[in-house]
Amino acid sequence: MIIGCQWGDEGKGKIVDVLAEDAQLVVRYQGGANAGHTVQLPDQEFILHQIPSGILHPDKRCLIGNGVVLDAAEFLREYDALDQRGVNPKKRVGVSYGAHLVLPYHKILDQVSEDQATKKIGTTGRGIGPTYEDKVGRRGLRVGDLRHPDRTNTLIEEGIARAKSIIGEGESITDSLMEDREAFLRDSDRLVEFATDVGLEIANTLADGDSVLLEGAQGTALDVDHGTYPFVTSSNTTAGAAAIGSGIGPTMIDSVTGVVKAYTTRVGNGPLPTAFEPEMDEMIRELGGEFGATTGRPRRCGWFDGVLAKFSARVNGLTGLAVTKLDVLDTLPEVYVCTGYETQHGIIEDFPADLVELGEVKPVYEMLPGWMEPTKEIRSQEDLPRAARVFLERLEELAETSIEMVSVGPKRSQIIRF
């Protein structure tokens, strides 16, 4: 399993792309089209929102699990774009019967609830939250339902009526909901062809002795239970969700690799204890290209947070770490890592469960010398500059987890295996 250990955007897409080489099946298990993975191949760049990044390997099968909320139009657009760009996704993509569908009115509801909220969450407005609400409210529409037109129509009728009762009965809203509904039904006819039993496919693949890679979206601190609630996403992003969201038992998962950037970023609102001062923030954002893959929003940047890393290791049961974007720090004379939080009650090293407390902590930093050398062309641990190795060892100590690989650039080849 590959899991984001900060606030998302850790570079999971690239790590999944690298590890997909050794797996037969790649499976997404939570989130929706609000996630965006960027993968650079030698000659082109792909941004994938729903289809697992394993698709960029010619012979891998990629599945979307029941834990994902699927935007049918976006999914088909992504599929067609891959096809047009020569990736040949035919017979290699499947969608769980149990995945819930994002309907056009979910997107409108998403925007309305963000506009009305006193605390802005910074949602991407893609209807993800309202779709999960309908799932838990037991009134959602699932991929498997699309094979039964009567059931589908009833669920959509009821959904539209509910949406109107919240949004109002305005003529333009009614027209657009009806037009969007027709478009949705056209897309759903095509979507049915992708429906599959994801849990069964995983079990069969494992029984054949092949490997499966489970691909997480967003990051640990955005988990609806364990993250910085309410500034979180509406699904569980931590490792426990992978079994539920794909339809396998937890004992079938034998390794959990946590992806961390060599620094920290956060998009959307909510506390970021290690946030940089404005000048440094802008510099790292430019060096690291820290703008959202889905929305283009600038990400807030900060130093590596060892307290969050330690928490992520615990809550996800990490068996290894993948550190990305080491190269972004190449030019800095000094680098800092956060080793604890100063609170009213002294220094703590465990991530506070209370968001108010998190908002008030002051990070405690340790300064380390920078390496001031390019790392992008380095391919072995021994060839890394000494200061970079010391920095990485400190990350391992803070996260209490061994590093398995370090990424030194966006390309597939820019990886150092430990």
Q: Of residues 3, 7, 11, 264, which one binds ligand GDP by CB under 6 A?
A: 11
8-16, 20-28, 116-124, 130-138 -> range binding ligand GDP (CB under 6 A): 8-16
- Count Cβ atoms within 10 A of the Cβ of residue 130 and give its class: 0-12 exposed, 13-18 middle, 19 or more buried: buried
Smallest distance from the beta carbon of 259 to ligand GDP, in angstroms? 7
Tell me which residues in 180-199 interact with ligand GDP (CB under 6 A).
none
Q: Which is nearer to ligand GDP, 99 or 262 (CB)?
A: 262
Q: Is 266 in the site for ligand GDP (CB under 6 A)?
A: no
Whether the CA torsion 325, 315, 64, 224 is positive or negative: it is negative
Q: How many residues bind ligand GDP (CB under 6 A)?
A: 21
> Rule CB under 6 A: is residue 328 a binding residue for ligand GDP?
yes
**Residue 338, SS3?**
strand
Binding to ligand GDP in span 286-305, by CB under 6 A: 289, 293
Under rule CB under 6 A, residue 227 binds ligand GDP: no
User: How many other C-beta atoms are found inside a 10 Å radius of the C-beta of residue 379?
Assistant: 12
Nearest in space to 144 (alpha carbons), one of 80, 238, 232, 70: 70
176 vs 269, which CB is nearer to ligand GDP? 269
Helices (H), 85-148: 104-116, 128-136
Pick one of 5, 14, 99, 163: the residue that binds ligand GDP (CB under 6 A).
Answer: 14
Residue 287 Cβ vs ligand GDP, minimum distance, rounded to whole Å: 8
Residue 12 within binding range of ligand GDP, rule CB under 6 A: yes
CA distance 284 to 303: 10
DSSP string, 66-100: TTBEE-HHHHHHHHHHHHHTT---TTSEEEETTPE
CB of 213 to ligand GDP, least distance (A): 14
Name residues whose C-beta falls within 8 Å of residue 413's C-beta, 6 or more positions apart in sequence.
Answer: 42, 379
Strands 346-348, 334-343: pairing is: antiparallel
Give dist(CA 273, CA 266) in Å, integer: 10
Q: Is 408 in the site for ligand GDP (CB under 6 A)?
A: yes
Q: CB of residue 331 vs ligand GDP: minimum separation in angstroms?
A: 12
- Residues annotated as catalytic are 9, 37
Q: Which residue, 218, 221, 217, 219, is CA-closest to 352?
A: 221
**Which residue stretch of 11-19, 170-178, 247-255, 390-398 sits at the interface with ligand GDP (rule: CB under 6 A)?**
11-19
Which residue lies nearer to ligand GDP by CB, 13 or 247?
13
Span of 12-20, 82-90, 116-124, 148-156 interacting with ligand GDP by CB under 6 A:
12-20
Entry field: residues in the chain: 418
Minimum CB distance to ligand GDP, residue 40 (Å):
5
By C-beta, is 1 or 361 nearer to ligand GDP? 1
Residue 296: partners with Cβ closer than 8 Å, 6 or more residues away:
none
* 9 scored as a contact of ligand GDP (CB under 6 A): yes
* Residue 261 CB, nearest approach to ligand GDP (Å): 8
Place of tokens 């130093």: 303
The strand pair at 320-324 and 304-305 is best described as unpaired
**By CB under 6 A, residue 124 contacts ligand GDP:** no
Q: How far is the CB of 233 from ligand GDP (least distance, A)?
A: 12
Q: Which of 34, 40, 96, 124 binds ligand GDP (CB under 6 A)?
A: 40
- Which letter, b or e, does each residue of 189-199 get, where b requires 16 or more Cβ atoms within 10 Å of its Cβ? eebeebbbbbb
Q: Tokens for 346?
A: 């002294």
Binding residues vs ligand GDP (CB under 6 A): 4, 9-14, 36-38, 40, 289, 293, 324-325, 327-328, 407-410
